[in-house]
Amino acid sequence: MLFSVYKRVNFNSITGIVLLFFIAFGVMFLYAQKIYPIEFSWGNDSKESWKVATTFFSLHPYHSYVEYRGRFWFFILAILNKFSLIFNSSYKLGFNIFTSVEFAYITVVGVPWIFEQLFKNKLSYLVRTLFMLVIFYFFRGHFLYPLVDFPALFFSILGVQFVLKYNQTPKLFFIGLCGIFITCALLLRMNYLVALVFIFILFIWKLKSNKIRIMSGLHLVFFSLIVTVSLICSSIYQQKIQSLVKTSGIDVLKYQLFLGLKEQKIDPIVFPDNRGIMVLNKENFNEINLSLRQYLKLYISHPLYMIVINMQHIFNGLDISYPIVYVDGLRISFIFCLLNYILIFLYS
């Protein structure tokens, strides 16, 4: 009966997409809340992030190395935690609702809509459903933990949507919403700074009247102020966090660059990168803190090795062996890996 109703619904209409959104939301929420109810105390970053969030509004907040990315994500988590406390429910209720909305929007609305606008090709409900199921199958466990990867992607997708919406209807309201959501993505992960270059070029290309140019310029100034204020606020906590993110002379960001050369990772397995170790040995680099400037110098002196190392990181990232972040045992599924490689091949 349910399947017959599903077949009769026009999922290309707004009503159909909304119904598919709630189906996706229900699938993820049921999985997170009932089927696989993990604890945030499992996994270093997850555990530390939640501890920071639960004491965010207290007089004596807990500080951790995870705060090097800024405070915005912990503010969101703190609000979600307060929401759960209001309803006197599971401490994960608010987060599970948020992450389910995030999953449903990315898979059913955001990515399909962007695809339709870029390629001028209407997607059927079957394609939307298959995309939602593929993302759920391969990444369902990544939505269960209070980590910033998918939230940052969620906000950046919203930002890109409003850029494309502005191209259809050039209203300043859409520029403002784009700036807000891209700012949220940047406050979660500064990696999305690269996307701003393309968005600004798109703005300049589409702007016609002087009025819109002036207002857009003011918007960009306001946007820059938001990022600047966020960085200033983060620096206030720098003294408290320094003792946590630096131990025995280790700087987290520089140490990650160093590990990126010394190790390769296919979750959850970490193994040495012989090429990277050879590059470090050739340069007589004995420190564990590798600055961006030093990293770029290695690119200049050993371009082929560095390109191969980073391409291997990209492939390892695409090589999904487990649908969850923190693995409690090595149980590699042949079918899971086969489907993963088929999708990589088709995407290529």
The pLDDT tens digits of the residues spanning 226-272 come to 656 655 555 555 444 544 444 444 566 677 778 778 887 766 567 78
Extended beta strands in the chain, E state: 263-266, 269-272
Q: Name which of 256-260, 281-285, 344-348 the model is least confident about.
A: 344-348
Residues 6+ apart with CB under 8 A from 298: 261, 279, 283, 306
> Which has the higher per-residue pLDDT, 201 or 87?
87
Is residue 279 classed exposed, middle or buried when 0-12, 13-18 and 19+ CB atoms within 10 A define those classes?
Answer: buried
> Which has the higher per-residue pLDDT, 238 or 327?
327
- Rounded Cα distance between 82 and 66, Å, is 21
pTM: 0.72
Q: Which of 100, 108, 97 is nearest to 21 (CA)?
A: 108
Q: What is the pLDDT of residue 199?
A: 62
Greatest distance between any 2 Cα atoms in the chain = 69
Are the C-beta atoms of 198 and 186 separated by less than 8 Å? Answer: no
- Rounded Cα distance between 141 and 217, Å, is 41
Q: What is the pLDDT of residue 247?
A: 45
pLDDT over 90 percentage in the chain: 14
HSE-up of residue 336 (Cα within 13 Å, Cβ side): 15
Q: What is the pLDDT of residue 294?
A: 84
Residues 6+ apart with CB under 8 A from 117: 164
Q: What is the pLDDT of residue 244?
A: 47
Q: What is the pLDDT of residue 325?
A: 66
Mean pLDDT for 199-207 is: 59
Q: What is the pLDDT of residue 195?
A: 59
- Rounded Cα distance between 102 and 106, Å, is 6
> Which has the higher per-residue pLDDT, 124 or 23?
23
Q: Name which of 104-108, 209-213, 258-262, 315-319 the model is least confident about.
A: 209-213
- Asked whether residue 224 carries a pLDDT value surpassing 70, the answer given is no
Positive or negative CA dihedral for 166, 171, 174, 180? positive
Neighbours of 112 (CB within 10 A): 21
Mean pLDDT for 287-310 is: 83
Rg (CA), the chain: 22
- Asked whether residue 299 carries a pLDDT value surpassing 70, the answer given is yes
Mean pLDDT for 19-36 is: 91
Q: What is the pLDDT of residue 80?
A: 93
Q: What is the pLDDT of residue 320?
A: 65
The domain limits of the chain are 9-235, 252-347
- Rounded Cα distance between 157 and 152, Å, is 9
